[in-house]
Structure 1
């Protein structure tokens, strides 16, 4: 039997309304920061601003858990807080912080600050955007695109 990839947050959290409510609280905090993109996959919903900066997923997909959603926030520094379940370092400049979210109200000012930091950390580089726009118009790549300094 083929597993269908969800296309919307509602499909991702089908049958898990408490997780969807947490997700909506996260996206309300992110929307206050500006434009962002969401990418829904079978395993998670990625929030992007240039690059992915936060992920919401259901731990019950992978292990026995009563937690409706986990919020994973990518920061350039390690944050110490009793609210954070686990911190991993998937890349030299990325610390991934996993928070078990039991209710929408847990997306409070502190979580919103971490989301804002991650959002700004992953913002598109204006110079890179300009170079990409020029390439899209058929212009030659700039020196940084050729690996030159």
Structure 2
């Protein structure tokens, strides 16, 4: 893991192990994947960005105080209780946001969604 990834979690260090689990799962599936650390999010890309991880900037009603927000894009809207929010910034491009509070939530269902997002990003 790069230093800039570690520093990203300075204000919420309890979420670092959750991020590490996500990062490791993605790196295992997509060894050529690139990781870009910005001020507000960490992006995972192959051809294009297919997933992002971020920390909450402000309190979100109904969410815990600390969590990792995992976001990904699909061609359609997913309906699932784990989806905090889904928005369509462009026609047929839906961005989904999932609240993750522990490493156990980086499970097969989330990874299936991220696989679908990866495939979608490769067809843009």
18-27 or 79-88, larger mean C-alpha shift: 18-27
TM-score by length of 2: 0.86
Higher strand fraction (1 or 2): 2
Structure 1: which 4+ aligned runs deviate by more than 6 Å? none
Q: Give runs of aligned pairs for residues 91-106 of structure 1, distance below 5 A.
A: 91-106=90-105
Gaps of 5+ in 1: 1-6, 126-149
Gaps of 5+ in 2: none
Confirm whether residue 23 of structure 1 aligns to residue 19 of structure 2. Answer: yes
Structure 1 counterpart of 2:72: 73
**CA offset at residue 97 of structure 1?**
0.7
Confirm whether residue 39 of structure 1 aligns to residue 39 of structure 2. Answer: no
Whose Rg is larger?
A: 1
Cα deviation digits, residues 27-76 of structure 1 (max 9, x gap): 122123222111101110011111111110000xx212513210011111
Structure 1 counterpart of 2:10: 14
What is the DSSP-based 3-state SS (H/G/I as helix, E as strand, rest coil) of the residue aligned with 1:8? Answer: helix
Contact 2:73 2:95 survives alignment (8 Å): yes
Structure 2 counterpart of 1:132: none
